Amino acid sequence: MPRPSPNSIARCCHSPPQSSTIVSPKSGNPATACFPCHPTLPRAPWSWPSSAVSWRCSRATGAIPRAVKRRASSWVIILPSCRLACRASPVVAANPFAPTAAASTVNLLPSAGLGEHARALAQVVKWHNSKPRRQVFRLFGAAGTGKTTVARDIARAVGGNVLFAAFSGKAASVLRGKGCEGATTIHSLIYRPYTDAKGKLTFILNEDSPIRGARLLIIDECSMVDAKMGRDLESFGVPILVLGDKEQLPPVTGAGYFTNQPADIQLTQIHRQTGDDPIIQLAGLARSGKNIPKGVLGATKVISAKELDHQEVLDADQILAGTWSTVTYLNDRIREILGRPYGVPVAGDKLVCRKNNRGKGVLNGEIWFVKEITDIKSDKVFMVLSAELNDCEVSVCVDPACFTVKSKDDLDELSKRAKDRDVFTFGNVLTVHQAQGSEWDRVVLFDESKAFRHDRSKWVYTGITRAAKSLIIAQP
């Protein structure tokens, strides 16, 4: 077998390379690059760490040769094109750049030197390819451990029709922004509208859902899925990979159907942003139950609520608090600063849905904006709303008392009585519970963690991890 000539080696842009990686182009000519660089190399379909040196060949006539030469921190392996193979190997198949056709099958036996993501890829693909297999595979990890990145690579490895879904529209939007094409809400994926004999519009399980033909369904923020929805998902018989974070708050009602069992894989290494990012640092402190110290670092600040500037609050993409009384007070105060009338929605107001209306396709927790007030009566407000994430519009009828209630119990009572009306409240400020599954670039968090006692650390952690770029924590 020929050794590589100097001209056949593609050089990495990092010196030294950031990680030990093998890249073997489909042509059989070797190339050397670190993990961040290898996808940019021409025709470089394979990569794996140099510690993965144990090989077996199931259909080839001879053993695949081991590394023949070492360059810097990478092994160069020369594989003739006639020996190139894929798909049966969990690790190789998990590589999104693996070739789609080959003459033989190679099984890679991963060693302890594999990175956490590579091991996760290997285990998930092994589960997916096994027969018989459990229907649900649980991949859990704290914020920033790269659950979505792993899931995206798994989708590429599995190939075919892989679907992404999340409980909320905001979470589905975050998935799409991270490269998970076609991500949608679970509700729109598995339910369809139905009018019963009495003319009442409701939603039922869609037996013709696209899930029927899927090779894999990937669910993000799985802690938000209750038992009924979970069982409905399982009824399609498709393998399901669920992504979750057990460090977050449990749902207010209907504890997570998919998080009531241990993880199959628990990711621990932080990858989102950087290890020095203050948001990640604060999340780590909260996760370990430590106090959050005051201070300013870049766009992240932990300050006293008295130091908070009005403009910083108005500039936030979302404001979060803990208790209902604080949420209603802050919503009223912000609207007062904006010059809007008390308790009366106007065009431009940000609202949050508090009750599902499946006939109209509005779901509890979704954010909408008032586009137009079409009519106001003593007991009804008619509005046209536009969705936060797309161009969808919907006409709603809301009891105006919803915009002045001072307690969650009062709103629940209104919701029960208003059978023919929609339930919305002002949404400039949300509770951390309501914000689960969503992410915004700029977040202001009013720290009311003391109200949550045993869940105090989880409350702080969940609030912090709603911020992607900028975070202000206002402490009492």
pLDDT beyond 90 at 275: no
Q: Dihedral (C-alpha) 118, 121, 123, 129: value to the nearest 10 degrees?
A: -140
Res 436: pLDDT? 82
CA–CA distance, 475 with 460 (Å, rounded to integer): 11
Break the chain into its structural domains and give their ranges. 116-267, 278-474
Structure tokens at 74: 């990478």
The CATH number of 278-474 is 3.40.50.300
Question: Does residue 450 contact residue 322 with C-beta atoms inside 8 Å?
Answer: no
- By percentage, how much of the chain surpasses pLDDT 90? 39
Round the CA-based radius of gyration of the chain to a whole number and report it. 26
pTM, whole model, 2 decimals?
0.68
Q: 182-199, pLDDT tens digit by residue?
A: 898 898 899 988 877 877
The closest alpha carbon to 94, from 265, 209, 230, belongs to 265
Confirm whether 116-267 and 278-474 share one CATH topology: yes
Spatial neighbors of 5 by CB under 8 A, at least 6 apart, are: none
CA–CA distance, 368 with 398 (Å, rounded to integer): 13
At 240, is the pLDDT very low, low, confident or very high (cuts 50, 70, 90)?
A: very high
DSSP state of 219: E
CA–CA distance, 391 with 368 (Å, rounded to integer): 11
Q: Out of 94-108, 122-136, 225-239, 324-338, which region has the weakest mean confidence (pLDDT)?
A: 94-108
Q: 441-458, pLDDT tens digit by residue?
A: 999 999 999 998 888 999
Any idea which residue has 């919305």 for tokens? 424
Q: 405-422, pLDDT tens digit by residue?
A: 988 888 888 888 877 789
Question: Does residue 109 contact residue 119 with C-beta atoms inside 8 Å?
Answer: no
Q: Left (φ > 0), alpha (ψ -120 to 50) or beta: where does 357 sit?
A: beta
The closest alpha carbon to 43, from 97, 103, 104, 102, belongs to 97
Could you please state the CATH topology (level 3) that the domain comprising 116-267 is classified under: Rossmann fold (3.40.50)
Res 447: pLDDT? 95
Res 251: pLDDT? 67
Question: Does residue 464 contact residue 286 with C-beta atoms inside 8 Å?
Answer: yes
At 379, is the pLDDT very low, low, confident or very high (cuts 50, 70, 90)?
A: confident
Average confidence score pLDDT of the chain:
76
> Which residues in 167-294 belong to E strands, given as ranges?
184-185, 191-195, 201-205, 216-220, 240-244, 265-267
Q: 121-165, pLDDT tens digit by residue?
A: 889 999 999 988 999 999 999 887 888 888 999 998 888 899 999
CA distances from 180 to 210, 229, 243, 361 (A): 16, 22, 13, 23
Spatial neighbors of 324 by CB under 8 A, at least 6 apart, are: 407, 408, 431
Res 140: pLDDT? 94
Res 225: pLDDT? 87
